[in-house]
Amino acid sequence: MRWLGYAIRFWVMGTLLSWYALRYGVGRFGTLFIRDAEHRRRAVARLRGRILRVGMARLGATFVKLGQILSTRPDLLEPETIDELRQLQDRLPPFALARVRGILEAELGGPLEERFLAFDTVPVAAASVAQVHRARLADGTEVAVKVLRPDVRRKVERDAAILLLFARVLHLSPRARLSDPVGHLRHFVAGILEQTDLRLEVENYRRFGAHFASAEGVRFPRVYGELSGERMMTMEFLRGTKVDALPPGDHRALAMRLQRVFLKMCFEDGFVHADLHPGNLLVTSSGDIAIFDVGLVKHLSADVFLQFVDFTKCIVMGTPHDFVRHMQRFHSYATDVDWLAFERDIEDLVTRFRSLDIAKLEMGQLMNDLFGLGRRYRVRPMAEMMLVLVAMVTAEGIGKQLYPGNNLFHDTAAFLAPRLAGLGLA
């Protein structure tokens, strides 16, 4: 009967896609009456994002997660589209306590009451892949118990198989083929599937804990391996305030500390939290930054450091031709790129960037402009470098929420200088 489930899901997906394609077509027709080209482009990108956001929310957990991942890819989508996708809520209706109990007791090999002194029936959070309940151990320690949604892995695999069919159809278009829809879909689904085995997240917590053991003011929750398994994970329950909900005040030191966390992950450890946003960051009562939800991580090769250094040199002191050579060496691109036109546009961008006062420089704006050029000329960063750039833009955005005068360029230079000197590159 498995084929029947696929057929029904395919019919539901096809019906919803047809409906939202029609809505997009009607909305797209309306944008034809906007005379200003740039205003029309933004309106179309916003419309595309709104249709994607609403459609993904209706299609369920797999698509909500897919939308969240897409919202971190400015090399693929325009800023207005990404702004819409970022609105996807990370809260879904919780599943029944009876199902929670069944999963936990199967993983623990015994009654829930034998392992927990108390267990809250109402979850404190319910997301696309799992939900979290507060509980107490026999010694009174307060813990958070993360439980996978029932059959979530099977549902993701089913949706992925159907989406792959759509991607292969899309791949028939020469224009769409340049974006490698099949390859990107496989990459996205692999990231979601990683989060359906909580044993991997337990190991990620342990590894991050080891990397930041000597870092002052940074905490990852302790995990309890004996109370964790493939479908459940028990960890320390930490209380605090989300970084985007802190009261007004001077949070400069906090912003700098958070940026050092990002930079250490990228350039020292090569082990990066790939889903780090304000919702996964708390500031405890003692002023520590607590970091959660480490199911999605990326391992970076040592070459990423040198690639980033070369990229930075091109921005700060290189010629437009140096920048083109960097793109040709480290990025993927179509076979018919007009490199002369690309070089002229890079020259305009770099000239404008270098004319700004250093206090006004913003990594986010520079990356948006560069990604815009990349989309126009079909030049895209390699996946690892893309992750670093997105992580740094995220760090800058959160840093400016904490302290508007935050300057990522200055802090990055200070962080990298001793490492460059050690390599003889300073």
Residues taking part in catalysis:
275
Cα 391 off chain centre by: 8
- Quick one: DSSP state of residue 94? P
Residues in Cβ contact with 47 at an 8 Å cutoff, skipping those fewer than 6 apart: 24, 27, 28, 31
Which run of H or E residues covers position 75?
none
Q: Are 147 and 95 in contact (CB under 8 A)?
A: no
Distances (CA, A) of 27 to 16, 20, 50, 249: 16, 10, 11, 43
Can you give the C-alpha Rg of the chain in angstroms? 23
Residue 198 backbone phi and psi in degrees, to 5: -70, -10
Distances (CA, A) of 17 to 21, 24, 50, 163, 330: 6, 10, 14, 11, 36
Six-digit token string for 383: 């996946």
Beta strand residue intervals within 309-403, DSSP E: 331-333, 379-381
Q: Are 380 and 332 in contact (CB under 8 A)?
A: yes
- For residue 273, list its beta bridge partners: 297
Dihedral, CA of residue 22, residue 23, residue 29 and residue 32, to nearest 10: -140
Write the single-letter amino acid at 346: I
Residue keyed to tokens 């390699």: 382
Q: Are 410 and 377 in contact (CB under 8 A)?
A: no
Buried b (16+ CB within 10 A) or exposed e, 373-400: ebbebbbbbeebbbbbbbbbbbbbbbbb
Distances (CA, A) of 392 to 83, 244, 395: 17, 17, 5
Residue 50 backbone phi and psi in degrees, to 5: -65, -45
Distances (CA, A) of 175 to 39, 40, 94: 24, 21, 41
Six-digit token string for 5: 């489930």
Between CA 143 and CA 232 the distance in angstroms is 13
